[in-house]
C-alpha cells in the first residue's frame, strides 16, 4: 500500500492507473478505523480495480466546542488495518496540504433545506465543512466511485445533493451500518463510553427497531411514536435525546402517512457522547 502525503504524488499515481484503464474507488475517513470503515473498503473493492482511502481529521467540520483536538488519531493502527484490506493507496495529507492558505477561500454550501435541520441544527456549519472537504478530496482523488456509511444518513443526503447539483462525475454508494453483536452502530466515538454507558447504548437501536415494527404494522402516527421512543430512551438511562424523527429519505422533511419510504433518525447522548443511528424503510405499501 502506498501512502501519499501530497496531492501531487497522489495525482501522479491515480493518473497512471486511469491511463491503464483501471477504475478507482474511494473511501474518505477521519481515521480511527473500525470494522464499519473496513466494510466500506470492501464495497469499494467489489466495485473498482483500485481502492484509495483517505485519513484526514477535517478541522472545518468541527464546531468550536467540539472534539477536534481530542478526536482519536491512530495512524499506525489504521495503516496496518488498511494494508490488511489490500487497500492500494492511502492519502494522508496534513492540514497545510489541504488548506494551504490557512483560511478557506471557497466553501461549498448545500442549501439549508438539507443542511440546516437535524445534525445541521445541532452543529451549525458542520455540513459546509463536510461538503468543502469532500469536494476537495474528490478533486484530488478523482474517483469513479466513492463509498460512505449509512450511519451518517444526512451526510450522505447532503453529499448526494452536492454531487447532483454540481454534476460531479462520481458514483456514490451508501453502505449499510456496521453493528456490534448487541446492535450498537459502530462509531469511533463509542470508545468515549464508560462501561455503564456502553451497556445502555444498544437501546438506541432497539428503540428504532420498535418504531420500525410499528410503522411496518401500519402505524403512521409518527409524532406519537417518536415522543414515546424519546421517553423510553430517557428511561433506559440516556441523558438527553437530541432528536428522533421519521423523515423522507431524500428531502429529510417530516414523513407523510402516504409516503412509501421512511428513515427513522435518532441522536441521543450518554454523558457528552452523542450517538447517532438510523433505520431505512423503503418501498412500504
Ligand atoms: O464521515 C466522515 O468520516 C467525514 O465526515 C468525512 C466524510 C470523511 C469528511 O471529513
Q: Give 137-156 pLDDT, tens digit per residue.
A: 999 999 999 999 999 999 99
The three grid cell numbers given for residue 76, joined into one nine-digit string: 499506525
> What is the CATH number that goes with domain 188-278?
3.30.1300.10
Q: Which atom of ligand 1 is nearest to the CA of 159?
A: 7
Residue 8 neighbours by CB distance under 10 Å = 10
The answer, as to whether pTM is greater than 0.85, is: yes
**Choices 3.40.50.720, 3.10.450.50, 3.40.50.620, 3.30.750.24: CATH for 2-175:** 3.40.50.620
CA distance 240 to 60: 26
Output the average pLDDT for the chain. Answer: 96
278 within 8 A of 150, measured Cβ to Cβ = yes
Residues of the chain with CATH 3.30.1300.10: 188-278
CA distance 118 to 194: 26
So which residues are the catalytic ones? 37
CA distance 33 to 37: 6
Query: Does the pLDDT value for residue 9 go beyond 70?
Result: yes
Query: Does the pLDDT value for residue 222 go beyond 90?
Result: yes
Q: What pLDDT shows up at residue 285?
A: 56
With bands split at pLDDT 50, 70 and 90, how would you rate the model's confidence at 283? confident
Q: What pLDDT shows up at residue 67?
A: 87
Q: What pLDDT shows up at residue 105?
A: 80
91 within 8 A of 11, measured Cβ to Cβ = no
How far does the centroid of ligand 1 lie from the alpha carbon of residue 130, in Å?
Answer: 6
| 182-205 pLDDT, tens digit each | 999 999 999 999 999 999 999 999
Residues of the chain with CATH 3.40.50.620: 2-175
Our mutation pick for probing the ligand 1 site, out of 26, 28, 37, 74, counting the most ligand atoms within 8 A of Cβ, is 28
Regarding the beta carbon of 90 and ligand 1, being less than 6 Å apart is answered no
Amino acid at each position: 500500500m502506498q501512502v501519499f502525503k501530497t496531492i501531487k504524488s497522489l495525482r501522479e499515481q491515480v493518473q497512471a492507473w486511469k491511463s491503464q484503464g483501471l477504475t478507482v474507488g474511494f473511501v474518505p475517513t477521519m481515521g480511527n478505523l473500525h470494522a464499519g470503515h473496513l466494510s466500506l473498503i470492501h464495497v469499494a473493492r467489489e466495485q473498482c480495480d483500485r481502492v484509495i482511502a483517505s485519513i484526514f481529521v477535517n478541522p472545518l467540520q468541527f464546531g468550536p466546542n467540539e472534539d477536534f483536538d481530542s478526536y482519536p488519531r491512530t495512524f499506525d493502527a489504521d495503516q496496518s488495518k488498511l494494508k490488511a484490506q489490500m487497500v492500494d493507496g492511502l492519502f494522508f495529507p496534513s492540514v497545510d496540504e489541504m488548506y494551504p492558505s490557512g483560511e478557506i477561500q471557497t466553501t461549498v454550501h448545500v442549501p439549508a433545506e438539507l443542511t440546516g435541520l437535524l445534525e445541521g441544527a445541532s452543529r451549525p456549519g458542520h455540513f459546509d465543512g463536510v461538503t468543502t472537504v469532500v469536494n476537495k478530496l474528490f478533486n484530488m482523488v478523482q474517483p469513479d466511485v466513492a463509498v460512505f456509511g449509512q450511519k451518517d444518513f444526512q451526510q450522505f443526503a447532503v453529499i448526494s445533493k452536492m454531487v447532483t447539483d454540481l454534476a460531479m462525475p462520481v458514483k456514490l454508494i451508501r453502505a449499510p451500518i456496521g453493528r456490534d453483536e448487541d446492535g450498537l452502530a459502530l462509531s469511533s466515538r463509542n470508545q468515549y463510553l464508560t462501561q455503564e454507558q456502553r451497556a445502555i447504548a444498544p437501546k438506541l437501536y432497539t428503540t428504532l427497531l420498535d418504531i420500525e415494527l410499528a410503522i411496518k404494522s401500519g402505524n403512521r402516527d409518527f409524532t406519537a411514536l417518536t415522543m414515546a421512543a424519546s421517553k423510553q430512551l430517557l428511561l433506559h438511562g440516556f441523558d438527553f435525546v437530541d432528536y428522533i424523527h421519521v423523515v423522507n429519505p431524500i428531502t429529510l422533511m417530516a414523513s407523510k402517512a402516504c409516503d412509501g419510504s421512511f428513515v427513522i433518525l435518532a441522536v441521543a447522548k450518554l454523558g457528552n457522547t452523542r450517538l447517532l443511528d438510523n433505520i431505512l424503510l423503503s418501498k412500504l405499501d
